[in-house]
Amino acid sequence: MNGVRERLASRAFTSAAVVIAVLWTIPTLGLLLSSFRPEEEIKTTGWWQVFGSPRLTLDNYREVLSGGANSSGRLAEYFVNSVVITLPSVLFPLVLAFFAAYALAWIDFRGRDALVVGIFALQIVPLQMALVPLLKLFSQGWLFLPAWNLTGPARFGQVWFAHTVFSLPFAVFLLHNFLAGLPRDVIEAARVDGASHGTLLLRIGLPLARPALVTFAIIQFIWVWNDLLVALTLSGGTAETAPMTVRLASMAGTYGNEWQRLTAGAFVAAFVPLLVFFSLRRHFARGLLAGSVKG
Amino acid sequence: MSFDAVAQQPKLLYLLQGIAAFAAVVSLILLALHQGPARRRAAALLLLAPALLLLTVGLLLPGLRTVLLSFTDSSGDAWVGFDNYVWMVTDPRALVALRNTLTWVVLVPLTATSVGLLYAAAVARSRFRTSALSVVLTPMAISFVGAGVVWKFVYAYRPAEAGQIGLLNQLVVAFGGEPRQWLVDAPWNVLLLVVAMVWTQTGFAAVLLAGAIRAVPGELTEAARLDGASPRQIFWRITLPSIRPTVSVVVLAQAIGTFKAFDIVKTTTGGQFDTGVIAHEMYDQAFRYGETGRGAALAVLLFVLVTPFVAHQVRAQRRAG
Amino acid sequence: MRFGARPALAFIALAALATACGVPQDSGAPSRSTAACGPYARYGEHPGTKVTVYAENRDREADLFEETWADFADCTGIEVQYEGDGEFEARIQLRVDGGSAPDVAFFPQPGLLEHFAQAGRLKPVSAGVEALAKQGWSADWNSYATVNGTLYGTPLVANVKSFVWYSPTFFRERGLSVPRTWSELMAVTEKVAASGVKPWCAGIESAEATGWPVTDWIEDVLLRQQGTDVYDRWVAHEIPFNDPRVIKAMDTVGSILKNDRYANGGFGPARSIASISFQEAGTPVLSGDCAMHRQASFYADLWPHGTEIGPDKDVFAFLLPGDDPAGRPVLGGGVFTAAFADRPEVRAFQEYLASADFANARMRKGPFVSAIRGVDPANAATPVDRLAIQLLQDPRTQFRFDGSDLMPASVGAGTFWKGAVDWVGGAGTRQVADSVEQSWPSH
């Protein structure tokens, strides 16, 4: 009796999961199938028609990757820009937030709790409102800081700076939560042995925090790679420094009438995040798990 | 396709320089930390300084500036007292945005977390765990531009005579109904945008919760099972109470994310048809209409609305600490 | 070290991919001969300088611009760095506020240009540009870039908005002729409706800008019913937005667009106008599901690939008529160049853009309309562009700029658009007009 009920209940769970998985996949599947359909069919018939009369084409991908227009033939350049923007924008906040989280979690000092809360609270400053002051800082300088006035590849510096700043509250929050949740006896034991904070940070903190660091790195990677707002505002928008998202956003044309290209564009842009994601998914789940134990 | 690999070298060089400069700063900090038995305060300060400096310049001061701007006129020069706040609570459009934001912030975290929890509970101990979680996480990897196209496709409208290109209307037609203009008809369009937002957020919740569920000691659930508890009872009596802290973190993170939600609205309806939310309205006012003061006032409203959530987190932290 | 190996491999693979795509570039354009550079001598030599340009034209249109000024750039030594952004209207404010304004911006709305001129951010044009402007454009056109008596920019692009697109075949088969007065237009409308085809198709979905095609309709009709004087005073808010004459114009438009017998051809009930994107709104004209589609000259670019435009081709356009068959009321839009810097190279570039040479060269590359006097209609890429240029050059034409582009942005790009959406959705004319009037900023 019990066994039957148990099986039924767990079957209910399983079927719920299958339903959710299907519901979550269908919209993406529709986009994927659409991206292989000719323009006039995308715009006149539903993507499920593809099962009845499959007329598939790579035209959308061809236009996105090489393009009929001369400015669209340079997606590779934008790809390089995306890489150049993303790597430091993940690395910098990762390291700085780890330092800060270590200090907030493992060093006792007065005002510590208030700082944690304060940093956490900064998450709510809307990015849009912070862009103008940041631009001002770059173009005019502020107090003792000189103007950056950067051109050419040096503009990447501005984008790195902005992404680093905007991600710090979440990064510190996540890493602090994780570190504070670890058993304290490990650290105390090392402290008693007279290890300096430098040693503790590298020898004990770093290996223990690795799952959370990986988690943050993946989230931040996807965020920066897909970002359009910061890129459009700070990167200058030309093939010299702008990432792929900027290029893809403009592919719909001045009047937005070429939106069928966005179907292919979405997958071209998502290719790298998906790759990162699928190759690191184990670490991702592990890190998030650990980060949330304490709450 | 003209791509000049040589032309890319300055970029890569700059990348290396940037990373090298950063590495130098980090090494200096670590070196200083190693110097002697540093006092606790000094060590903490050293580690916190870079992050605090960046946060002050990049977020704290802009935040304060926004508060000041909310008391000025459209140019940001003349003081107007509380005019912008009066506008905010009387303008029909701003009120619609406020109403929608509250709807979002109730529905998105609850739905995303519940669905994510259900999914996580079902797959957490399964062999296909990572693949199953990847399925619901895929929307995260697709940019908001892509997500906008995805959902415009789902909700697209075509007249009854023509073939549908939107999935939802195709279903309606298949069951003999009249196609509807989903994104136009208020207030349902707001709920449909909530669905799109939940679609992007659920994966994140599911992964966090699956992790937490796996951390619940196996002995606990095993003992309950031997006592004859059904999976459902185990879920409600053992699993859920053990992961409550995680659930609250997830809800909190979702709520904050929802308050700041901007892209889904922008890429689907552009805030038209009474679907605007505060974060989007703020951008429109401050930049599209050149009403800096009003935009800032809406930003301050966002601060105020998020404060209870931050306060809750503070209390939770106190209790735990 | 299992972790790290896979992503590293993936990255190397990607890097290899990126390099593999690297076909060596041909070594730049061949340097121009002195003869080819003759026409550009007057702009001087500015080797090693750079001018940044920021505008909303992207993709193909961006390419056409860049191709057009490539010779200028080569001959003068000025590097023109163009950036097109679909969010131009919002981001230009952000950039200027942040102190990183472009050297030259192409403003699609005179209202926005005026905003930055008032704020003291724009540089007045040089004497050379001013002379070109006086010589090239009518006083009306120049007035849109003039703020407090100072000229801040020159017109670059012109759009004629008062066009009605139709299928010549459809008209011929049903014995319809192109209407020359409003009553003839309504007669055609009624005749088509009586035959069981909804005569008009329209669509106003355009993301944030949803609603603008209806505001154009209303402006167009107001201009025809009340003349330029009332129109000007309404735009300047000297008469209220909800003036009875405006209500009347709105109701006239409503008798077409909010009438299920007349709209929305090919798309269903009149209300469907709200969900149909403006880009696809005219397509039923091709299939004969709709007879007429009122949209600007730039719609020539939006027909499906392969559609031929001309008086005896797939589609063509006529001027939306008024009561007087001899009248030429033209509602239009345009893009203006203005500069945030006054370095010599910026001046030179502005001068080049203000010349008829630029307009003619740009027209030879693809669809483009300029209101400059020196432009040759023979260079037009499509018959509709030619018609538009002829209209703009016709002395009988009374040209008026799209009112919503001249109103304060919070109305012209805000409450007016939103009001139009509500109105199409069923809200009453009076109620919508009152709410727009109320939203007019007091400062």
**Domains of chain A, each with CATH number or no CATH:** 2-57 (no CATH), 75-287 (1.10.3720.10)
The amino acid occupying position C195 is S
Q: Which of residues 160-219 of B touch A (CB under 8 A)?
A: 162-167, 170, 199, 202-203, 207-208, 210-212, 214-215
pLDDT band at B1 (very low <50, low <70, confident <90, very high): very low
Q: C304 touching A, CB under 8 A?
A: yes
pLDDT above 90: residue C1: no
How many Å is the Cα radius of gyration of chain C?
24
Q: C410–B285: do the CB atoms touch at under 8 Å? A: yes
Residues from chain A that touch B318, judged by Cβ atoms under 8 A, are 113
- What whole-number percentage of chain C has pLDDT above 70? 92
Question: Looking at residue C3, what is its pLDDT?
Answer: 35
Check: CB of residue C22 under 8 Å from CB of residue B5. Answer: yes
Q: How far lies C319's CA from each of B20, B79, C256, C332, C397, in Å?
A: 64, 49, 17, 12, 11
Which among B258, B185, A173, B155 is positioned nearest to C424, based on CA atoms?
A: B185
The amino acid occupying position A193 is D
Task: Choose the mutation target among B3, B11, B157, B254 for the interface with A, i.e. most A CBs under 10 Å.
Answer: B11
Check: CB of residue C153 under 8 Å from CB of residue C147. Answer: no
Mean predicted confidence (pLDDT) in A215-220: 85
Residues from chain B that touch C93, judged by Cβ atoms under 8 A, are 286-288, 290
Which among C385, C116, C94, A244 is positioned nearest to B286, based on CA atoms?
A: C94
Question: Looking at residue A6, what is its pLDDT?
Answer: 58
Which among C19, B165, C360 is positioned nearest to A260, based on CA atoms?
A: B165
Q: How far lies B91's CA from each of B83, B104, B260, C139, C435, in Å?
A: 12, 20, 21, 39, 10
Structure tokens at C411: 């109305």
Q: Tell me if the domain spanning C163-332+400-438 has CATH number 3.40.190.10.
A: yes
pLDDT above 90: residue A196: no
C-alpha A58/C-alpha C120 separation (Å) is 50
Residues from chain C that touch A159, judged by Cβ atoms under 8 A, are none
Residues from chain B that touch C414, judged by Cβ atoms under 8 A, are 284, 288-289
Other C-beta atoms closer than 10 Å to the C-beta of B6 total 9
DSSP C165-196: EE-HHHHHHTT-----SHHHHHHHHHHHHHTT
Check: CB of residue C90 under 8 Å from CB of residue C112. Answer: no
Residues from chain A that touch B232, judged by Cβ atoms under 8 A, are 9
pLDDT above 80: residue B36: no
- What whole-number percentage of chain A has pLDDT above 70? 86
Question: Looking at residue C18, what is its pLDDT?
Answer: 41
Q: B270–C209: do the CB atoms touch at under 8 Å? A: yes
Q: A266–B145: do the CB atoms touch at under 8 Å? A: yes
Among candidates A9, A162, A273 on the partner chain, residue whose Cβ is nearest the Cβ of B230: A9
pLDDT above 50: residue C192: yes
Check: CB of residue C367 under 8 Å from CB of residue C64. Answer: no
List the CATH code of the domain at C41-157+334-390. 3.40.190.10
User: Which position has the higher pLDDT, C292 or C2?
Assistant: C292
Query: Chain B closest CA to C395's CA: distance in Å?
Result: 36
C-alpha A163/C-alpha A170 separation (Å) is 12
Question: Looking at residue A51, what is its pLDDT?
Answer: 86
Check: CB of residue C80 under 8 Å from CB of residue C66. Answer: yes
Query: Chain B closest CA to A115's CA: distance in Å?
Result: 10
User: Which position has the higher pLDDT, C47 or B263?
Assistant: C47
pLDDT above 70: residue A292: no
Q: B230 touching A, CB under 8 A?
A: yes
Mean predicted confidence (pLDDT) in A275-284: 74
Alpha carbon B169 to chain centroid distance?
28
Check: CB of residue A43 under 8 Å from CB of residue B165. Answer: yes
Q: B28 touching A, CB under 8 A?
A: no
Task: Choose the mutation target among B4, B73, B165, B289 for the interface with C, i.e. most C CBs under 10 Å.
Answer: B289
pLDDT above 50: residue A291: no
Question: Looking at residue B37, what is its pLDDT?
Answer: 56
Check: CB of residue B302 under 8 Å from CB of residue A126. Answer: yes
Burial of B66 from C-beta contacts in 10 A (0-12 / 13-18 / 19+): buried
3-state secondary structure of B35: coil
Query: Chain B closest CA to A209's CA: distance in Å?
Result: 16
DSSP C277-307: BTTTTTTHHHHTS-SEEE--GGGGGTSPTT-
Question: Looking at residue B319, what is its pLDDT?
Answer: 65
Residues from chain A that touch B119, judged by Cβ atoms under 8 A, are 16-17, 20-21
Question: Looking at residue B137, what is its pLDDT?
Answer: 84
User: Which position has the higher pLDDT, A125 or C289?
Assistant: C289
Query: C206: which DSSP letter?
Result: B
Q: A136–C56: do the CB atoms touch at under 8 Å? A: no
pLDDT tens for residues C131-140? Answer: 999 999 999 8
Structure tokens at A121: 């609270």
pLDDT above 70: residue B70: yes
Q: Which residues are within 8 A (CB) of A269 and not within 5 positions of it... i.e. 6 or more apart? A: A225, A226, A244, A245, A248, B143, B145, B146
HSE-CB for C351 with a 13 A CA cutoff: 20
Question: Looking at residue A67, what is its pLDDT?
Answer: 59
Query: Chain B closest CA to A25's CA: distance in Å?
Result: 7
Q: Find, in chain A, the residue whose alpha carbon is nearest to that of C100.
A: A139
Bridge partners of C332, per DSSP, are: C160, C401
C-alpha B62/C-alpha A265 separation (Å) is 34
Alpha carbon A2 to chain centroid distance?
46
Burial of C26 from C-beta contacts in 10 A (0-12 / 13-18 / 19+): exposed
Query: C218: which DSSP letter?
Result: H
Question: Looking at residue C20, what is its pLDDT?
Answer: 40
Q: C271–B183: do the CB atoms touch at under 8 Å? A: no
Cis peptide before C264, with omega less than 30 degrees from 0? yes
The rounded mean pLDDT for chain B is 87
Question: Looking at residue C7, what is its pLDDT?
Answer: 42
Mean predicted confidence (pLDDT) in C381-400: 93
pLDDT tens for residues B251-281? Answer: 888 898 898 888 889 888 888 899 999 999 9
Q: A254–C56: do the CB atoms touch at under 8 Å? A: yes
Which among A276, A223, A281 is positioned nearest to C14, based on CA atoms?
A: A276
C-alpha B243/C-alpha B210 separation (Å) is 10
pLDDT tens for residues B300-318? Answer: 998 888 888 877 776 776 6
Query: Chain A closest CA to C12's CA: distance in Å?
Result: 12
Check: CB of residue C43 under 8 Å from CB of residue C352. Answer: yes
Residues from chain C that touch A258, judged by Cβ atoms under 8 A, are 59
At residue B180's C-alpha, the angle toward residues B179 and B185, to 5°, is 180
pLDDT band at A8 (very low <50, low <70, confident <90, very high): low
pLDDT above 50: residue C6: no
C-alpha A141/C-alpha A146 separation (Å) is 4
Mean predicted confidence (pLDDT) in C114-119: 91
Given a contact as 3+ CB pairs under 8 Å, which chains touch B?
A, C
Q: How far lies C202's CA from each of B93, B159, C24, C262, C267, in Å?
A: 25, 13, 48, 11, 9
Structure tokens at C415: 């409450």
Cis peptide before C39, with omega less than 30 degrees from 0? no
Alpha carbon B69 to chain centroid distance?
25
pLDDT tens for residues A253-273? Answer: 778 788 888 888 888 888 888
Given a contact as 3+ CB pairs under 8 Å, which chains touch A?
B, C
Question: Looking at residue A26, what is its pLDDT?
Answer: 94
DSSP A182-202: S-HHHHHHHHHTT--HHHIII
Q: Which residues are within 8 A (CB) of B86 and not within 5 positions of it... i.e. 6 or more apart? A: none
pLDDT tens for residues C199-243? Answer: 999 999 988 889 999 999 999 999 999 999 999 999 999 999 999
The least confident of B196-205, C18-27, C357-366, C420-429 is: C18-27
Mean predicted confidence (pLDDT) in C426-432: 94
The amino acid occupying position C154 is T
C-alpha A234/C-alpha A131 separation (Å) is 9
Task: Choose the mutation target among C60, C92, C121 for the interface with A, i.e. most A CBs under 10 Å.
Answer: C60
Mean predicted confidence (pLDDT) in C60-81: 92
Contacts of range A150-155, beta carbons closer than 8 Å, 24 or more positions apart: A152/A240, A152/A241, A152/B10, A153/A84, A153/A240, A153/A241, A153/B10, A153/B11, A153/B13, A153/B14, A154/B14, A155/A234, A155/A235, A155/A236, A155/A240, A155/A241
DSSP A240-292: TT--HHHHHHHTT-TTSTTTHHHHHHHHHHHHHHHHHHHHHHHHHHHHHHHHH
The least confident of A11-25, A55-69, B143-157, C323-337 is: A55-69
Check: CB of residue C156 under 8 Å from CB of residue C65. Answer: no
Question: Looking at residue C15, what is its pLDDT?
Answer: 43
Report CA torsion sign: B279, A136, C91, A230.
negative
Question: Looking at residue A128, what is its pLDDT?
Answer: 82
Q: B74–C441: do the CB atoms touch at under 8 Å? A: yes
Q: Which residues are within 8 A (CB) of C262 and not within 5 positions of it... i.e. 6 or more apart? A: C189, C193, C198, C199, C200, C255, C256, C270
pLDDT tens for residues A237-252? Answer: 777 888 988 888 888 7
Mean predicted confidence (pLDDT) in A81-88: 94
Check: CB of residue C212 under 8 Å from CB of residue C224. Answer: no
3-state secondary structure of A91: helix
Query: Chain A closest CA to B186's CA: distance in Å?
Result: 23
Question: Looking at residue B68, what is its pLDDT?
Answer: 93
HSE-CB for A82 with a 13 A CA cutoff: 30
Residue intervals of chain C classified under CATH 3.40.190.10 are 41-157+334-390, 163-332+400-438
pLDDT tens for residues B134-165? Answer: 888 888 888 877 888 899 889 998 888 778 88
Task: Choose the mutation target among C6, C27, C205 for the interface with B, i.e. most B CBs under 10 Å.
Answer: C205
Query: Chain A closest CA to B111's CA: distance in Å?
Result: 12
User: Which position has the higher pLDDT, A295 or B274?
Assistant: B274
Task: Choose the mutation target among B288, B294, B298 for the interface with C, i.e. most C CBs under 10 Å.
Answer: B288
Structure tokens at A247: 């290029």
